[in-house]
């Protein structure tokens, strides 16, 4: 089997494992107890951000792995699961990603949306802010020591 294919499958397997951990944590522990696992909480800009596709090889590899693992997961993965797992994967590779949570500006009771931004500014998961969503909270990671 091709070495490149084996590496891609290994990264997708890593993504699936981290997605399952993220989903389990999200489903069983209140966010206020686990949010420090994704970084330092801060206020976000409040503006609607445009999604920037990843071009950096590491960003692209992680984004693809998260998408493949999400598509092949035995359980549904929401945007928050994807952003948390992607954040962990990028941190393991020495990056300092930012996980953003947004709310629909005209319906604050609507389901929040999460997305992940890499050091490069590229949107790794979540496709960026959805139309009408504004960023309200951000979690800035620290690189792995």
**Average pLDDT of 2-23?**
94
Q: Determine how many CB atoms are found less than 10 A away from the CB of residue 107.
A: 9
The pLDDT of residue 2 is above 90 = no
Closest CA to 52 of 130, 141, 98, 120: 120
State which residues form the domain around 131.
3-140
Instruction: Give the pTM.
Output: 0.90
| Residue 17 is assigned to a structural domain of this protein | yes
| Residue 61 is assigned to a structural domain of this protein | yes
| Residue 39 is assigned to a structural domain of this protein | yes
Rounded Cα gap, residues 124 and 83, in angstroms: 8
| Residue 19 is assigned to a structural domain of this protein | yes
| Residue 59 is assigned to a structural domain of this protein | yes
The predicted structure's pLDDT at residue 36: 86
The pLDDT of residue 1 is above 70 = no
The predicted structure's pLDDT at residue 55: 92
Contact predicate 71/15, CB 8 Å: no
- Report the chain's mean pLDDT, rounded to a whole number: 89
State the total domains in the chain.
1
| Residue 145 is assigned to a structural domain of this protein | no
| Residue 58 is assigned to a structural domain of this protein | yes
| Three-class DSSP labels, the chain | CCHHHHHHHHHHHHHHHHHHHHHHHHHHCCHHHHHHHCCEEEECCCCCCCCCCCCCHHHHHHHHHHHHHHHHCCCCCCHHHHHHHHHHHHHHCCCCCEEEEEEECCCCCCCCEEEEECCCCCEEECCCCCCCEEEEEEEECCCCC
> Would you place residue 105 in the very low, low, confident or very high pLDDT band (cuts 50, 70, 90)?
confident
The pLDDT of residue 62 is above 90 = yes
pLDDT tens-digit map of 33-61: 998 888 898 877 666 667 888 999 999 99
pLDDT tens-digit map of 68-92: 999 999 999 999 999 999 999 999 9
> Would you place residue 134 in the very low, low, confident or very high pLDDT band (cuts 50, 70, 90)?
confident
């Amino acid at each position: 089997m091709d070495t490149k294919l084996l590496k891609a499958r290994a990264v997708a397997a890593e993504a699936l494992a981290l997605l399952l951990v993220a989903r389990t944590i999200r489903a069983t522990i209140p966010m206020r107890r686990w949010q420090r696992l994704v970084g330092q909480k801060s206020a976000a800009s409040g503006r609607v951000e445009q999604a920037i596709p990843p071009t950096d090889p590491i960003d692209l590899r992680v984004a693809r792995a998260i998408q493949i693992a999400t598509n092949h997961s035995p359980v549904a993965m929401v945007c928050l699961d994807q952003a948390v797992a992607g954040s962990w994967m990028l941190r393991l590779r020495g990056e300092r990603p930012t996980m953003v949570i947004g709310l629909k500006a005209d319906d604050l009771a609507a389901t929040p949306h999460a997305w992940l931004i890499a050091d490069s500014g590229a949107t790794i998961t979540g496709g960026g802010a959805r139309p009408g969503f504004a960023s309200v909270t951000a979690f800035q990671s620290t690189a792995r020591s």
